[in-house]
Structure 1
Amino acid sequence: MASISSLGIGSGLDLNGLLDQLNEAERGKLAPIERQIETQQVKISAYGELQGALSGFQSAANALNDASLYQSLSTSVSGEAVSAAATADASVGSYVVDVETLASAGSYATARLEGIESIDEPVVSSGGELNLEFTHAGEEGTSVPVSIADNASLADIRDAINAEDAGVTASIVNDGDGHRLALMSTETGREASITGMDWSDLTKADGVSFSETAKAVDVVGENALLNVNGIAISSATNQVEGAIEGVTLNLNQEGTSTVAVEQDARAVREAVVGFVEGFNALKGTINELTAFDGDAESAGELLGDSAVRSIEGRLRSVLSGGVAAGEGGFSMLNDIGISLKLDGTLEIDQDRLDSVIANDQDKLSDFFAGDSATGGLAGQVSETVTQLSGTHGALGGAISGAESRIESLNERYLRMEQSIEATLTRYRTQFGQLDGMIAQMNQTSDYLMQQFDMMNAQLGRD
């Protein structure tokens, strides 16, 4: 608050300094409210950290709550001829893949164009349709027309072809003695192969012709040839689907590879380990937020917080409660090699878990995923976290409560500020009145002293 500089002029008193001291003393009443607001803000930040850890654990639980996880397959490939990827439709087994020939794209180059020195000189005088032919060995194929303008150059024709979705890319080749228009099929395989061009609808420019000696070059595209477990297969592309049900083969080179399709034990194991690590990370966050160091006299932001105790209790109850299991099924975490330690964290018996994943994935699926969204342990954990984080849950309610307290404290702070300002305004008025009164008294005193001095001087002359 700014001081009024004229205060004290009349009385000679340091009323500005006194008013500043009173202002500081009054504003000291705001400090407890500020500390309470800061405490609630720290709590909200800590709740946010806890919420993040809970969300991470829930994500790990959701991964285990997906029944398709336990049906996923993986492929392993020996040899460099192919690579492979399997879907859930694949069947477990081993397949020998022998790649005889890779699929290739066809190409076609015109005869050398004579009568032009530059690719920008007109090649045709009258435009029309240039037909790209996809025909081979006398078989009836397809023809794709490309519109060519009057007086088009070789460069113009190339650009017109490339502007169309014609199934080829065009370029210009200089063979050392002249120019040719070269086309390459954009797809591999015999049926997609470009095999010729029909210029009959175009009129060549004067002096322009195709060479009789440097003739057109036609390289036919080929299908990939392979066999799987002795069965011959032809494919227009090097990505082969359907040769093995549910498996996509990518042909890399000629040769032989063995493709093994098996249950994806690694994905299941990573999901289970992620679940344990997610819970242990949550437990670590809770320990940090509720820690107390007697030597340093420091405490975590949520030490003694009831919401934290409720969260720990609910999760411990779910994890230790298990699920209802059918005959021979798993009902407790201990059954699959996961135990709850004395410090509250989870621990994995690696050998037991590996055995379960290798031999009992169906039972593992029943245990974690169940037959409904919340039928398995993972679903129960996820649902519990959702409830805890909801508006009426332990964590959601704690966050809402802290936010409400901050709002209430901010209102109280504003009212207190207004009260302090009113008090200081009253002090300013009173100090101003005091300053004026003392100034008036000083003036009266000075007047009386002057009168006394005059009287004394008069008496001295008499």
Structure 2
Amino acid sequence: MAGVTGIATGNDYTALITSIVNLEKSPKQTQLDTLSKSTTTKLTSLGQLKSAISDFQSALVALNSPSSFLARTAKSSDESIFKATATQSAAAGSYQVQVQQLAGTSKVALQSVASSTDVKFNSGTLKLSLGDSEVASIDIDPTNNTLAGVRDAINKQSSTSGITATIISDASGSRLVLNSTKSGDGNDIKVEVSGEGTNGDTSLSKLAFDPATAQSLASLTDADKAAGLGGYVTKAQSAKLTVDGLSVVSDTNTVTSAIEGVSINLTKVTAADTPVTLTVGRDEDGVKANVQKFVDAYNKLITYTNAQTKVTSVGEDKAPVTGPLVGDASIRSMLSAVRNEMVAPNANGGSFNSLASLGVTTKKDGTLEIDSDKLAKAVSSDFEGVSAYFTGDNGLASRLGGKLKAYTDADGILDQRTDILQRTLSSVDKQQSDLNLRIAALQDRLNKQFSTMDNLVAELTKTGNNLASQLASMPFANKNG
């Protein structure tokens, strides 16, 4: 609303009205601003607290997982020869592995033709096989009777046949090179031709290939190469190795049948009489890593709650600086429950009854620290005892998780606190809206009142001026007393 300029009085009442309005609004506005800021800060703090608790719970789940204690490792003494992985069913032990041969796939070069674009093959059918198994049957007709057309027809079925084709041109002309994705003895590529017609300029039989009679490309004479004869580049073969002197044959370089629960991924042949050691054991490093994650997540939770509930003195004449969650009973209750569980005896039995016996101790600020050597010794000497301390319904991880559940569940303690704070913010918004309406009404009323007053002064001034004029015109007005 525009200000009120006193035409009659010569005074601008805008500043006066603004001062009155601000004096009326300021106390309530300060109260609402303070409440809004503190409530928003608490909401943010509770959200970050819930995140810290969630991280701690995730660490507890990993620590309580039986699979983390049942996990096995498989280590090769020379990973350039092979790498290995192990499942829970693998038995701990050491094995000597000698790799004589890697598995390989079949790759063949078919007979060349004069040109990759001008040649038109006769119609017919190409049957592609891997060993004794037919994998594709391709009809050749005028729509695909070029070298490129045949290549595309083969590749169209590659997802099911396991055979891909490409065109390579050399001094003798152009030819199809076929590559298989299936390794193992006997899985060589074979191409048979049937039902050949006479509607092209080149015999379809040029594309036939029999691995039983074919030679390797490397063994062809110069005359054979100039004539464009086909041959195999590589033959399909199985991997061959020995494990502790026992012979093992595998169609692929991923060997899963040699040692129960162990997968060996071969990458290179070993030198003669130079076996590689494969060691299968418990995943002690994984367990130690999970204990470290547990400690890190707990320390994050404690560090955050310490900061949010801290009272900092800033001088005798000044109010202390307090964290947004100072005095929060639910936070104190949660931390007390967690700490009590961490010092409670282990109901599962076993040789470890406390975190300290595993090398995990509490510092002055309430956070934890790990004696890595003591933890490593405990895991190495009594793996089952460490597992019993942390896992199971009565293990530390499960007990701690149970204490935290009431705080982080849907409609749990933290959700209830969040709902209350959200309602407070909604109430602040409503009060702010009401205050704005009341102040607007006050300003409008003051504007009208001062405007009315100014008009009244103008009327009185006018009346006074008229009276003075009339008196001045009276007969006695010009006579001396």
Aligned partners of 2:248 and 2:258 also within 8 Å: yes
Identity of aligned residues (%): 29
| Unaligned residue ranges in structure 1 (runs of 5+) | none
Q: Report the Cα distance in structure 2 between the residues aligned to 1:196 and 1:269, rounded to whole angstroms.
A: 57
Q: Distance in 1 between matches of 2:196 and 2:475?
A: 138
Say if 2:240 is the partner of 1:225.
yes
Q: 1:337 aligns with which of 343, 350, 359?
A: 359
Which residue of 2 is the match for residue 57 of structure 1? 56
C-alpha distance in 1 between matches for 2:278 and 2:371: 32
Q: Which amino acid aligns with 2:129?
A: E
Say which of 321, 335, 353 aligns to 1:312: 335
Alignment RMSD: 2.5
The answer to whether residue 384 in structure 2 is matched with residue 362 in structure 1 is yes
Aligned to 1:23: 21
Shift, 1:143, TM fit = 5.0
Give the corresponding residue for 1:132. 128
**Residue 386 (structure 1) aligned to one of 405, 409, 418:** 405
How far 1:170 sits from its partner (Å)?
0.3
Report the TM-score, using the length of structure 2 for normalisation: 0.85
Helix, strand or coil at the partner of 1:244: coil
- How do 1:198-237 and structure 2 match up within 5 A? 198=193, 200-201=195-196, 203=198, 205-206=200-201, 210=206, 213-218=227-232, 219-237=234-252
- 1:244 matched to 2:240? The reply is no
> After superposition, where does 1:2-401 map in structure 2 within 5 Å?
3-5=1-3, 7-28=5-26, 29-79=28-78, 80-114=80-114, 116=115, 119-124=116-121, 126=123, 128-135=124-131, 140-142=132-134, 144-150=136-142, 152-165=145-158, 166-198=161-193, 200-201=195-196, 203=198, 205-206=200-201, 210=206, 213-218=227-232, 219-255=234-270, 256-295=275-314, 297-326=320-349, 328-370=350-392, 372=393, 375-390=394-409, 393-401=412-420
Contiguous gaps of at least 5 residues in structure 2: 208-223
Report how far residue 206 of structure 1 moved: 2.2
Kept after mapping to 2: 8 A contact 1:19/1:427? yes
- Contact preservation (8 Å) 1:106, 1:195: no
Counterpart of 2:85, as a letter, is: A
The equivalent residue for 1:429 is 448
Q: After the TM superposition, which of the residue ranges 435-444 and 6-15 deviates more from structure 2? A: 6-15
Cα distance in 2 between the residues matched to 1:51 and 1:278: 12
Q: Which amino acid in 1 is paired with 2:136? A: V
In structure 2, the partner of 1:442 is 461
Q: Residues of 2 paired with 1:433 and 1:231: CA distance?
A: 113
| Cα 1:149–1:21 shift into 2, 3 Å | farther
Is the 1:133–1:198 contact (alpha carbons within 8 Å) kept by the matching residues of 2?
Answer: no
Is 2:49–2:301's contact at 8 Å kept on the other side of the alignment?
yes
Of residues 178-187 and 3-12 in structure 1, the stretch that sits farther from structure 2 once superposed is: 3-12
> Is 2:136–2:157's contact at 8 Å kept on the other side of the alignment?
no
Cα deviations across residues 384-434 of structure 1 (Å, max 9, x unaligned)? 112123466554443333223222222222222222222222222222321
Q: Deviations over 1:49-101 (max 9, x none)?
A: 22222122111111111112111111111123111000111111111111111
Residue pair 1:132, 1:198 contacting (<8 A) in 2 also: no
Figure out how many residues of one structure are paired with residues of the other and give that number.
446
SS in structure 2 of the partner of residue 322 of structure 1: coil
* Code of the aligned partner of 1:77: S
- Structure 2: how far apart are the matches of 1:84 and 1:349? 31
**Cα 1:22–1:449 shift into 2, 3 Å:** same
1:427 counterpart SS class:
helix
Contact 2:163 2:181 in 1 (8 A): yes
Superposition TM-score, scaled by structure 1 size: 0.89
CA distance in 2, matches of 1:318, 1:456: 111
Instruction: Sort the Cα spacing of 1:448 and 1:348 in 2 relative to 1 into closer, same or farther, 3 A.
Output: same
Distance 2:381 2:148 in 1: 66
